[in-house]
Structure 1
Amino acid sequence: MKILLSNDDGYQAPGIVALYEALAAIADVEVVAPEHNNSAKSNALTLHSPLYVHTAPNGFRYVNGTPADCVHIALTGLLDYRPDLVVSGINNGANMGDDTIYSGTVGAAMEGYLFGIPAIAFSQVEKGWGELGAAASTAADLVQRVAAQHSGGKPWLLNVNIPNLPLDLLKPPKVCRLGRRHAAERVITMDSPRGDTMYWIGGAGAAADAAEGTDFYATAAGHVALTPLKVDLTDHDALAYWSQGMKQMLQGDLG
Structure 2
Amino acid sequence: MRCLTLCGVYHFKARNIDLRGHTLKILLTNDDGIHASGLWAAARSLSAVGEVAVVAPDREQSGVGASMTLHAPLFAHQVPAEQYLLQHAPGDDTPPRSADAVREPSGNADLDLPNPITAWAVQGTPADSCILALEQLVNPKPDLVVSGINRGSNMGWDVIVSGTVGAAIQGFVRGYPTIAISVGSVQSPRYGLAAQVVAALARRLADAPEVSPPYFLNVNVPNEPAEKIAGVRITRLGGRAYGESVRTEESFGHRRYWISRNRPILAGGDGTDISAHKENHITITPMGMAFSTTDERINLVQGLVDGAGILPTPAPAADAAAV
Name the CA distance, whole Å, in 2 between partners of 1:139 and 1:156. 14
Which is worse superposed, 150-159 or 64-73? 150-159
After superposition, the CA RMSD in angstroms is 2.2
C-alpha change, 1:217 and 1:242, in structure 2 (3 Å) is closer
CA distance in structure 1 between the aligned counterparts of 2:193 and 2:310, rounded to whole angstroms: 60
Q: 1-side partners of 2:243 and 2:274: how far apart?
A: 17
Post-superposition, which runs of at least 4 consecutive aligned residues in structure 1 deviate over 3 A?
Answer: 146-151, 240-252
Deviation of residue 150 (structure 1)?
A: 8.6
Q: Distance in 2 between matches of 1:208 and 1:241?
A: 28
If each structure's helix is expressed as a fraction of its own residues, which one has the higher value? Answer: 1
Q: Which amino acid aligns with 1:17?
A: W
CA distance in 2, matches of 1:149, 1:38: 34
Which deviates the most, 49-58 or 175-184? 175-184
Letter in 1 for 2:314: L
Q: TM-score, normalised by structure 1?
A: 0.91
- Mapped to 2, the partners of 1:69 and 1:151 lie a distance apart of 29
Q: Which amino acid aligns with 2:313?
A: D
**How has the CA–CA distance of structure 1 residues 232 and 168 changed in structure 2, closer, same or farther, with 3 Å as cutoff?**
same
Structure-2 change in CA distance of 1:109 and 1:147 (3 Å) = farther
Question: Matched residues in 2 for 1:174 and 1:29: separation?
Answer: 27
Corresponding residue for 1:77?
Answer: 136
Cα distance in 1 between the residues matched to 2:43 and 2:242: 35
State whether structure 2 residue 173 is matched by structure 1 residue 114.
yes
* Counterpart AA for 1:217: S
Q: Which residue of 2 aligns with 1:131?
A: 190
The equivalent residue for 1:5 is: 28
* TM-score, normalisation: structure 2: 0.73
Instruction: Name the residue aligned to 1:161.
Output: 220
Counterparts of 1:140 and 1:123, CA distance in 2: 13
Q: 2:164 — aligned with what?
A: 105
Task: Report the counterpart of residue 259 of structure 2 in structure 1.
Answer: 201
SS at match of 1:54: strand
Q: Is the 8 A contact 2:156 2:241 kept in 1?
A: no
**Highest CA radius of gyration, 1 or 2?**
2
**1:34 Cα deviation from its structure 2 partner:** 0.4
Matched letter for residue 99 of structure 1: D
Deviation at 1:181, TM superposition (A): 2.2
SS at match of 1:181: coil
- In structure 1, what is the equivalent of residue 240 of structure 2? 181
Over 3 Å counting, the alpha-carbon distance change for 1:180 and 1:205 in structure 2 is farther
- Cα 1:245/1:131, change in 2 over 3 Å: closer
Aligned residues between the structures: 254
In structure 2, the CA distance between the partners of 1:215 and 1:186, relative to structure 1 (3 Å rule), is: same
Displacement after TM superposition at 1:4 (Å): 0.4
* Contact 2:244-2:261 within 8 A present in 1 as well: yes
Q: Secondary structure at the match of 1:173?
A: strand
Please tell me whether the aligned partners of residues 67 and 108 of structure 1 are also in contact (alpha carbons under 8 angstroms): yes
Does residue 96 of the first structure (1) align with residue 160 of the second (2)?
A: no
* Aligned residues with identical type, % of pairs: 39
| Higher relative contact order (CA closer than 8 Å, sequence separation 6+) | 2
Structure 2 gaps of 5+ residues are 1-23, 82-117, 316-323
Q: Look up the match of 1:52.
A: 75
Query: What is the DSSP-based 3-state SS (H/G/I as helix, E as strand, rest coil) of the residue aligned with 1:201?
Result: strand
Residue equivalent to 1:18? 41
Cα distance in 2, alignment partners of residues 209 and 200 from structure 1: 24
Which residue of structure 2 aligns with residue 171 of structure 1? Answer: 230
Unaligned runs of 5+ in 1: none
Supply the distance in 2 between the matched residues of 1:36 and 1:251 (Cα, whole angstroms).
49
**Contact 1:134–1:167 (CA<8 Å) still a contact in 2?**
yes
